[in-house]
Structure 1
Amino acid sequence: MYCVRAITNDVYWVGANDHRLHLFENIHPIPRGVSYNAYVLLDKATVLFDTVDWSVCRQFLENVEHVLNGRDLDYLVINHMEPDHCASMEEIILRYPKVKIISTEKSFMLMRQFGFRIDNQDLIEVKEGDTQCFGKHTVTYVAAPMVHWPEAMVTLDLTDGILFSADAFGSFIALDGRLFADEVNFDRDWIDEARRYYTNIVGKYGPHVQHLLGKAATVLDKIKYICPLHGPVWRSDFPYLLDKYTHWSTYDPEEKGVLIVYASMYGNTESAAQILASRLCEKGITNIRVCDVSNTHVSELISETFKYSHLVLASVTYNLGIYPVMLDFLEHMKALHVQKRTVAIIENGSWAVKSGDLMQKFMDDNLQDMTILNERVSMASALHEDKQQEMEQLAQALADSLQNLEQS
């Protein structure tokens, strides 16, 4: 049976939710599920904007059939052809063989590369600034390369002010009936998963997102709805959403606070991390998150790194190197272009204390615009009373840095 929701009198959500998938892109845990969004426009012509992942294809097809209500499908607009959105397009072609496909040159190239059989269809190649009229609705196409694939575009319905935004403004979490962002407490229940989605999927491409935001700013007064391919539809509170995306895409910290990430084999480095957290709280610094790098998924660590202004790396030395899961976290920071953070270091080792120098060298060599505090806690096996002063100096340096950030 169908499961659809109306966005306007002419536009319907025909996507589906997935609670069975454990790993998005086979790497990111999604314990609260994910939605795959697609939209149908009913006008003089009928238009489907994107499709869905194969896992929810049956529900999607029932939704499209219901909304069309016996009409044929005239156009299929593919804004982003990654398989979690394009996998069902051949099923659409089988059911609506006269459908014309609208997309970019690179998108058609990638469709063929994935083996999608499209060459018996009418293919309409569009580029930046092209417009098309479907009846009373006129749309314009806006190139969005590397947000987050090179073929991506977004489509703006100039009539009703609907931005079909592809993967931009998306989020993890299944919709479960609540289509609009104002139907949930987004800042309480969704923002962490929206940040984790952005930072791990799109985070590397901040300059490209900024370029798209610049284009959107010129037509912001025309946008009344933002319809992404994952997560809720936005119809209000655009400044809130754009402020988050501006912070994330410029790598500016979202909040003033401290993320403490530790790697501990026998609990001694963990103890040092907890002592530092207590010292910071005593100094009035309470916006703190403490994470064990061994049992916190790296996608969450990356999300929290984008959130907080200050980062503490506390790691044991392992085989004269950085503890493997801490090194993996650093490699992810490098891959996703984390920058503009203030970093403090706690190092540990029993027969060779090397991790601090190695972590600092990694950041110096691979990360941009990172401020590494001179104060460091260096411990041999466990934290002893003689390290009280080092811990106090580190806590004070972090507190002073945060205070200077507030005053700037």
Structure 2
Amino acid sequence: MQNIRNITDKILWVGASDRRLHLFENMFPVPDGVAYNSYVILDEKTAIMDTADSSVTRQYLENLTAALGGRQPDYLVVNHMEPDHCADIAELARLYPSMQIVGNQKTFGLMNQFYNMDLEGRTVVVKEGDVLDLGEHKLTFVMAPMVHWPEAMMSYESTHKILFSADAFGSFGALDGAVFNDENLDPHGLHSELRRYYSNIVGKYGMQVQAVLKKAAGLEISMICPLHGPIWREDLGWLLDKYQKWSSYTPEENTVAIFYGSMYGNTAEAADLLAGKLTAAGVKGVTVRDVSKTDVSYLISDVFRASHLVLAAPTYNNGLYPKMANFIEDMKALNVQNRTVSIIENGSWAPQSGKIMRAMLGEMKDMTVLEKSLTVRSALKEDQLAVLDEMTAEILASLNK
């Protein structure tokens, strides 16, 4: 049975959700699944906006067939060639032999890599500012390279002022019937999953996102239709503000996120004590994460949220505790910058972890490491509580700048 929602009387959502998927891109946990959005514009000429992942092909094709109502689509617009959105291109090309495929030059380069398709006479190559006239609806193409693939583009429908935004403004999580963000009890689109999606999938490409936001500022937008997560028709200003912060690596909140690695609980104890002191001093929104237990995608999301980070880890094989090393490497890979960091190290005979963490942070842009740090030798001692008090005072002074 088809599952279709009207965005307008002539623009339909024909996507589907996958709740069986455990790992998005076989890396990121998605306990609430993920949605794959596709859209159909019915006009003098009919356009399909992207396809879906192979895991939902049956539902997707049922939705699409019902939405078309016997019409042959004139165009398939491919805003993004990642397999979770392009898996059904070859099947649609077979089902609709007169359908032309719209994309930019890089789109078709990737398409030829993924598929052995005869595209002769079936392609419409577009560039920045080109317009596809469907009748009442007109699509203007906005190139969005490296947000987050080189061929990515967006399509702006000028009649209803709708931006089909590809992976930008997307979110983890199945839709659970709430296709529009204001249909959910959390109208901000499950904020934490929106941030986790951005920070891990797009986070590295802040400069490129900034360039696209400048283009979007010149458009009058009433609705944003991403390829994952809810369609945004309310609180667009809130959403754009979050993207402005995240893409400029501006902390979302003036607070502290504490990350620790601990083999036997001693480093964890120091992290918990510091969290308690900060909270007692009035800092709101403090989080404490075990880097060994918490998936790194959640850790990265906390990094994009908080202005101040605390890294606490033991020395391991005369190096840095591996889970903490992996976490910092992931921060580097995602271009994290503009954060203030405090360090706690542990080592029973030759503490090295603090030195290594400082060196790794030194390879990142605009990372300020505070002077006060704590060295634990095996277990925290009573006389070291004063050092935690000093660290707390230094973090508070930095927060209040």
The normalised TM-score by structure 2 is: 0.98
Q: What displacement does 1:187 show?
A: 6.0
CA distance in 2, matches of 1:82, 1:104: 14
Selected match of 1:397 from 373, 394, 399: 394
Q: What displacement does 1:286 show?
A: 3.0
2:347 is aligned to 349
Contact 1:35 1:231 in 2 (8 A): yes
Q: What displacement does 1:374 show?
A: 0.3
1:215 is aligned to 215
Contact 2:266 2:380 in 1 (8 A): yes
CA distance in 2, matches of 1:324, 1:386: 29
Per-residue CA deviations over 1:82-125 (Å, capped at 9, x if unaligned) read 11000111111121111100001001000101124142451000
Per-residue CA deviations over 1:8-30 (Å, capped at 9, x if unaligned) read 01100001000011100010000
Q: What displacement does 1:314 show?
A: 0.3
**Structure 1 unpaired stretches of 5+:** none
**Superposition map of 1:208-357 within 5 A:** 208-219=208-219, 222-357=220-355
2:145 is aligned to 145
Q: What displacement does 1:224 show?
A: 1.3
2:367 is aligned to 370
Per-residue CA deviations over 1:214-251 (Å, capped at 9, x if unaligned) read 000011xx211100000000112111000100010000
Q: What displacement does 1:186 show?
A: 3.0
Cα distance 1:243–1:267, how it changes in 2: closer, same or farther (>3 A)? same
1:75 is aligned to 75
CA distance in 2, matches of 1:374, 1:396: 12
CA distance in 2, matches of 1:44, 1:357: 66
1:383 aligns with 2:377: no
1:130 is aligned to 130
Per-residue CA deviations over 1:290-345 (Å, capped at 9, x if unaligned) read 00000000000000000000000000000011100000000000000001100000
CA distance in 2, matches of 1:7, 1:271: 52
**Superposition map of 1:50-129 within 5 A:** 50-120=50-120, 122-129=122-129
1:398 match: secondary structure: helix
Q: What displacement does 1:185 show?
A: 3.1
Cα distance 1:189–1:349, how it changes in 2: closer, same or farther (>3 A)? farther
Which letter maps to 1:95?
Answer: L
| Structure 1 vs Structure 2 CA RMSD | 1.0
Q: What displacement does 1:188 show?
A: 7.1
2:394 match: secondary structure: helix
Which letter maps to 2:380?
Answer: L
CA distance in 1, matches of 2:27, 2:264: 28
Q: Which runs of 4+ in 1 moved over 2 A?
A: 185-189
Cα distance 1:188–1:74, how it changes in 2: closer, same or farther (>3 A)? closer
Contact 2:189 2:230 in 1 (8 A): no
The normalised TM-score by structure 1 is: 0.97
CA distance in 2, matches of 1:227, 1:200: 20
CA distance in 2, matches of 1:257, 1:91: 49
2:132 match: secondary structure: strand
CA distance in 2, matches of 1:164, 1:177: 20
Q: What displacement does 1:285 show?
A: 1.4
1:208 match: secondary structure: helix
